[in-house]
Amino acid sequence: MKKAIVIGSGVAGLATSIRLALKGYQTHVFEINSYPGGKLSAFEIDGYRFDAGPSLFTMPHFVTELFEKAGEAPDLYFKYHKKKIACNYFWTDKTKFSAYSDKADFLDEIENTFGEPKKNVEAYLNKAKKKYDLISSLFLEQSLHKLKAYLSVDTLKAMLQLPVFELQKTLHQANDKAFSSSKLVQLFDRYATYNGSDPYKTSGIMTLIQHLEGAYGTFVPEGGMIAITNALYELAIRSGVSFDFETPVDEIIIKQNSAVGVQANGTFYNADIVVSNMDIYPTYTKLLPSQKQPKKQLSQERSSAAVIFYWGIKHSFEALELHNIFFSEDYKKEFDAIFNSQTVSEDPTIYVNITSKDVPGDAPEGCENWFVMINTPADKGQDWEALVSKLRTFIISKLSKELEIDLKPLIVCETILTPPLIESKTQSHQGALYGSSSNNSMAAFLRHPNFSNRLKNLYFCGGSVHPGGGIPLCLLSAKIVDELITKA
């Protein structure tokens, strides 16, 4: 039986291990932590349960197809439901907008709240869908780095309609042209943060992200986001995958330009296939020290990172939903601080995720578990202790004003995650959440491919490589690796 080794058990590593096992490989996963999931993990403090990392779940079919591929009924092992309200948005002038999952309700709410004609929004969404339909088979479902990707009817169709993609505009310019309401522009600009980018720099093609959320909806797994990790880990076990936790890989062993296994804890483990789910930067700098490094890819601008406050709140807020955004007054200044000044603005946007709204038992009765996130630059040696102190004071002050209650005494427990801690826990270079940013119109083509051009039998999956970060794209990276191995 052929052997495969997967380095890292993030969501992409778990999905890849399942796919390899189902292909007949004897598959072994090495994980540096004591638990699977990478960023998609969880913890508990004083009766409050928190999902540690990604909080948005959309396109659930990318999870359930793994069970179907294994011949199992997904709903026996993984349950979830769709949210009626995808997110609540708040502005300092007391404007509030609820983004309904139902398209008709969504359009009505936009017109009622912002005075934006429905036809403008429908035209925007239809254009976003067209972008997705034209590019999905090229960009999301296969490697961009194989010549055959460009020798297809789909590619020809996309090339003939290049103006549709708005590549020469920024996302903000595309949104500003589409809408008359500055608040609605800000709301749609926010989708740049889904891949850790700047709406004033990233390409107008990124309007398709809104299509993905709008068309597929926002969901909540029963048991919280950690249920995704648990379901995939258990499926991997049932599929015959073996795991070694608390076992860092020291090096990927290369012989005659081919990956032949890994060195871990002083022991060599041979393999016919090696897949790294580790961030591409440390994969090369730590695990492939003697190999030529792809300097262009490794030197790309990092995506945004985050400071996250996990708070147990001794109160319940009817105005809040699972996902909540409290916007800054100067969005451009906020992103200028992150990507140009490498700091945090005086008035950053605040994201509050509260799973206890939908997951019973995540907080004591009458209480809520708050995941409070601020987008930040990647770690470049900033004084994070000072920034955290400043952010904490700002967040408590702003949310107290917005919610008309003194928040500080309601915080009964707390832990904090910073970019340096993100790097130490997940090996993400500089704590960047999505690897490289997409602030370049050619960013999709600059991401590292899911294979090595020089080294045989070596593959890469996860958010730092093609097609990008976020749960759906990480799962797609596993699918691309699967297909590359099939055709090798």
pLDDT, tens digit, 9 for 90 and up, residues 163-220: 565 768 999 999 999 999 999 999 999 999 999 999 999 988 888 888 888 888 999 9
Compute the average pLDDT of residues 315-321: 98
- Strands 3-7, 273-276: pairing is parallel
Q: Which overall architecture, per CATH, does domain 38-101+304-433 show?
A: Alpha-Beta Complex (3.90)
Instruction: Delimit the domains of the chain by residue range.
Output: 1-32+247-301+444-488, 38-101+304-433, 104-216
pLDDT for residue 291: 95
Is the pLDDT score of 376 beyond 70? Answer: yes
In the structure, what pLDDT confidence band is assigned to residue 150 with cuts at 50, 70 and 90? very low
Whole-number Å distance between alpha carbons of 433 and 303? 6
Measured CA to CA in angstroms, residue 243 lies from 89, 233, 240, 308 at distances of: 41, 10, 10, 29
Q: Containing H/E element for 17?
A: helix 11-22
Cα 137 to Cα 141: distance, rounded to the nearest angstrom: 5
Residue 149 pLDDT greater than 70, yes or no? no
Quick one: which of 429, 415, 75, 123 has its CA closest to 227? Answer: 75
The predicted-structure confidence for 396-434, as pLDDT tens digits, reads as follows 999 999 999 999 999 999 999 999 999 999 999 999 999
Compute the distance between CA of residue 420 and CA of residue 390 in angstroms, rounded to an integer.
17
* Six token digits for residue 164: 């549709």
Collapsing DSSP to helix, strand or coil, 108 comes out as helix
Question: What pTM does this model have?
Answer: 0.94
CATH of the structural domain 1-32+247-301+444-488, one choice from 3.40.50.10860, 3.50.50.60, 3.40.50.720, 3.30.420.10: 3.50.50.60
**What pLDDT score was predicted for residue 438?**
87
Q: Would the CATH topology of 1-32+247-301+444-488 be identical to that of 104-216? A: no
Q: How many CB atoms lie within 10 A of CB 447?
A: 25
Q: Could you write out the DSSP letters of every residue in 369-425?
A: EEEEEEEE---SS--HHHHHHHHHHHHHHHHHHHHTS--GGGEEEEEEE-HHHHHHH
Q: Torsions phi, psi of 197, nearest 5? A: -120, 180
Higher pLDDT, 214 or 254: 254
Average confidence score pLDDT of the chain: 93
What is 104-216's CATH topology?
Guanine Nucleotide Dissociation Inhibitor; domain 1 (1.10.405)
Strands 48-51 and 42-45: antiparallel
